[in-house]
Amino acid sequence: MRCACTNCGTYMIQSEGLPIRCACPDCGAACNACMGTNSLIARDKLAALKDDPRFQAENFAFKQKEDN
């Protein structure tokens, strides 16, 4: 991912190594907002989604046919 620095507005680049983040070549600021690294789903919540009717295959196939 690439984004603008929230500190100075310069085009940021993905840094190499850990932690995964973008780094500003001008001011040195770093962040991981665009990486989605703070949006992980816990295993138990992910397992609960498999029973959610919104994600059942037959419902998805039906919606896909409606859109066409």
The Cα 38–Cα 22 span in angstroms is: 14
**3-class secondary structure, 17:** coil
The percentage of the chain sitting over the pLDDT mark of 90, rounded to a whole number, equals 16
Phi, psi of 9 (to 5 degrees): 90, 0
pLDDT band of residue 63 (cuts 50, 70, 90) is low
Any domain includes 6: no
Number of domains present in the structure of the chain: 1
Chain-wide mean pLDDT for the chain?
A: 79
More confident residue, 65 or 8: 8
Residue 29: per-residue pLDDT: 92
According to DSSP, the residues that pair with 9 across neighbouring strands are none
Residue 6: other Cβ atoms inside 10 A: 11
In this model, does residue 37 exceed pLDDT 70? no
- Angstrom CA distances, 48 to 37, 45, 51, 60, stand at 21, 5, 6, 18
Q: Give a yes or no: residue 3 inside a domain.
A: no
Domain residues for the domain of 54 are 13-67
